[in-house]
Amino acid sequence: MWYRAVGCLVTLTLSLLTAPLTVTAQLRSPVPRIGILVPGTIPEGSNPLWEAFQQGLRDLGYVEGKNIVLEYRFAAGQRERLPELAAELVRLPVDVLVTAGAGVLAAKRATATIPIVFTVFADPVAEGLVASLARPGGNVTGLSMMAQDLAAKRLELLTEVVPGLRRMAILWNPGRPGHAIQIQEIQAASARGGIHLEVLEAHSPQEFDRAFRTMGEQGVGAAIIQDEALFYERTRIVTLAAQSHIPAIYGHRGYVDAGGLLSYGPNFTALHRRAATFVDKILKGAKPGDLPVEQPTTFALVINLKTAKALGLTMPPLLLFRADKVIQ
C-alpha cells in the first residue's frame, strides 16, 4: 500500500509543478492581441484617427474578433493615468502596444520587451525612445512628425496671416522635454523676425484659462499651440482663443474643424493608417528595433474663413490658394 501512497504523492507534486506552466501558456491567445493606449478620449463616440488605424489593419487582412483582438485603454487627457493603463495592457499581455504622444513614454516605462509602435511622436530621438531614426534599437518604432521643421513653418504662416506681428505666444507642455527643441527653433525664428515671444506653459487642462488670460494681458497678436495629447480639449482651447481675440495656429486640423483659425501639420489620419503596417511586420516576425522610424511626406494647411472673419482678418489670396482645405 505504501507504494500507492508514494505514487499518488508524486502525481500530485508533478501536477502542482506543471499547473502554473499551463495557466501561463493560456494567458497569451493564439489570436494576436493589440493594445491601444490613447492619451485622449473618444470625441462624440468615435475617433477618426484610431478608426484609420483599424482601417489600415483591415487593408492588411486583419478582422477584429476573427484574427486579431484590439484592447483599447483611454486616458481621457489625464496624463497621470497613462502609466497605470500601460501596465494594465502589459499584464494582459498584448503582443504589440500601439500608442501616441505621452502614451509612448508611459508604454516604454511599462515594458522593455513587448513591441511598441507609436503612430505620432514629435522627436523620438530627443526623448530617448530610439537610438536613431534609421536604426531604433530596443522595442520601440513608429512614425515621427518632423516637429522641428514644422515649428518655424507655423511661425511663418502666422506672420502672413497677421501682418506686422510683433508680439506672439506659444503654449506648450514642459512635461515633454523633446518639445523644448521646438521652442528653441521658434525662439530663434521669432528673434530673426524681430518678434517678441512669450513662452507659456500648461501642465494640465486646468491651466488653459490662465494661459490665455496671460496672452491677453501681455497683448500678444497671435499664438502657436503646440502638438500635445494633453491639449485634446480642442473646443475649449479654440473657444478661449476666440474669447481672447487671439489668432492661433495648431498642428492638427481637428482644432480648425472645432473653430480654430488655421492648422499646418502632417496628415495624422494617414500616419495612424500607416502604423498598421508596423504592427503587421512585427506580427510576422520583424523586430521593432530593426524597423526604421518613418517621417511624413505630406503636410496639410487648413484654414477656417468663418473664424478669420470673426477675428477681423483677411486671408491673403495666395495663402488661400495654397491651402489644402478651406472651411467656409
**Cell numbers that stand for 185 in this block:** 527653433
> Which residues, other chains included, contact 177 with Cβ-Cβ below 8 Å and sequence gap of 6+?
126, 127
List the chain domain ranges.
Answer: 30-145+268-290, 147-267+299-327
- pLDDT above 70 covers a percentage of the chain that reads 87
Residues 299 and 267 sit within 8 Å (Cβ to Cβ)? yes
Q: How confident is the model at residue 63 (pLDDT cuts 50, 70, 90)?
A: very high
Q: How confident is the model at residue 18 (pLDDT cuts 50, 70, 90)?
A: very low
> What are the pLDDT digits (tens) for 79-133?
889 999 999 999 999 999 999 988 999 999 999 999 999 998 888 988 889 999 9
Among 57, 55, 106, which Cα is nearest to 78's? 106
Helix (H, G, I), strand (E, B) or coil at 203: coil
CA 302, distance to chain mean position in Å, is 19
Helix (H, G, I), strand (E, B) or coil at 105: helix
Residue-averaged pLDDT of the chain = 86
Long-range contacts of 306-312 (CB under 8 A, 24+ apart): 306/259, 307/238, 307/242, 307/256, 307/259, 307/260, 307/261, 308/161, 308/261, 310/242, 311/242, 311/245, 311/247, 311/261
Report the CATH fold assignment for 30-145+268-290: Rossmann fold (3.40.50)
Provide the terminal-to-terminal Cα distance of the chain, rounded to the nearest Å. Answer: 92
Beta-bridge mates of residue 224: 170, 249
- Say if 30-145+268-290 and 147-267+299-327 have the same CATH topology: yes
> What are the pLDDT digits (tens) for 256-306?
999 999 999 988 889 999 999 999 999 999 999 999 999 988 889 999 999
pTM of the predicted structure, to 2 decimals:
0.81
Instruction: Kindly provide the residue ranges of all beta strands, DSSP E only, lying in the chain, ordered along the sequence.
Output: 33-38, 69-74, 96-99, 116-121, 140-144, 167-172, 196-201, 222-225, 248-250, 262-266, 299-304, 325-327
d(CA 5, CA 265): 74
Among 272, 240, 268, 261, which Cα is nearest to 312's? 261
> What are the pLDDT digits (tens) for 193-232?
899 999 999 887 888 999 999 999 999 999 999 877 667 7
Report the CATH fold assignment for 147-267+299-327: Rossmann fold (3.40.50)
Residues 73 and 39 sit within 8 Å (Cβ to Cβ)? no
Residues 40 and 229 sit within 8 Å (Cβ to Cβ)? yes
